[in-house]
Structure 1
Amino acid sequence: MGADVFGHYPGITRFACDLLGYDLPARCRDNRDDVLSRTECTQPALFTVNALHAFERERREGRPADYYLGHSLGEYNALLAAGVFDFETGLRIVQKRGELMAAASGGGMTAVMNTPADRLLEVLGADGVEGVETAAHNTDTQVVIAGADGALRA
């Protein structure tokens, strides 16, 4: 991940490594001990690689995009590309976001396909499952629910 853009932006890449405190390109390339599966590592890596791809697209096309969209972590890349904040600010926010999400315990989220949110919550309630909330509507056919581990297992 990122091998195609890290070399084009050595200054930004070095800055990201210094801010994060580790060799980001090596971590993305080698993924020792599956470190990229840990959200506190995944989020800054994805944000940085996505940012470099956006910078590359703008350099190649010679102009910014007309619109920027993002979902979940991608919202931060959209805000960066739209000029809402600079790379350092975005990376610091995303780094903290990953740390906070990694520190959360006792609950989680899961995606459910082909069941509208209201129907899903109705079915869960009829089965006595409490404490589950709709967290996101990803698509017309996918909803994300969140709750305590026990409720999600049920």
Structure 2
Amino acid sequence: MKRAIATLILAALIGLLTRPTAPAAEPDKPVAGSPSDPAPVPKPKPGARHRPLAGRITEVDQVHKTLKVGKTVVYITSETRITKDGKPAVLADARPGEEVGISYVPSEDGRYVALSVRIGPRPGAAGKPPKQGASKNASAENR
């Protein structure tokens, strides 16, 4: 009985030691399917019309290079022009809660690709006086 158990344990150890191991992941490349594995960059659909999007940033994803405004996710590419306070910027300069204006186009797979991103208030919008006749109540009070 002792001999049978010893043989069984020895066979199990030999099996573990000779089992092929998975190749080690290269340090430069993320493991496929991992959360840090960025999705391929979508390409804009040829001839697609530019669309505007304005609002507040709800999420910035540095790994997948996306901005979320409300429920809309927009992909940032190497061709996307990003500005903040009128100066060139990068995606890392964007923070949730900031006002943003985006010009985007749909890609061939249906995702949205940003052509330009303005972070911060629209230039000239802060100190601009209201247009004449913009308020019906104001013109009615002057009569």
Normalising by structure 1, we get a TM-score of 0.20
Select the structure with the greater relative contact order (CA < 8 A; seq sep ≥ 6).
Answer: 2
Which structure carries more helix by proportion?
A: 1
Larger Cα-atom Rg: 2
**Under a length normalisation based on structure 2, what TM-score does the superposition of the two structures give?**
0.21
Please state which structure has a larger fraction of its residues in strand.
2
